[in-house]
Amino acid sequence: MALLLATFRARFPEFGTSAKPAIADIAVQACIDEAEATVDRDVMDASTTYPKGDAVVGYRAAAALRRMLGKKSDGPASDYDDAAKRLAGAAAAAYRVI
């Protein structure tokens, strides 16, 4: 399963279609695709109750977009980077236990 552009924009409204500055769909999709390439879906989506793949991809893409926006962003990219690392680490640890 891959994170959809519309789902990403809904979960992260600062990158939505009405966001200022506006970010083109192609730029957002490129960040999502890059983040998707870093996620092992077998590990991140191993939980049947709460798969974490989409969340990790979303946080990594949001961090990349914040870096791309630079000073125009709502905050530092590290906010999203840290959330992605915590979530991915927890999912990977649970996968090893299973």
Give pTM, 2 decimals.
0.84
Average pLDDT, the chain: 86
- Tokens linked to 92: 């990977």
Number of domains forming the structure of the chain: 1
pLDDT in tens, 55-95: 999 999 999 999 998 888 777 888 899 989 888 888 777 65
CA distance 32 to 6: 11
User: Domain limits at 25?
Assistant: 5-97
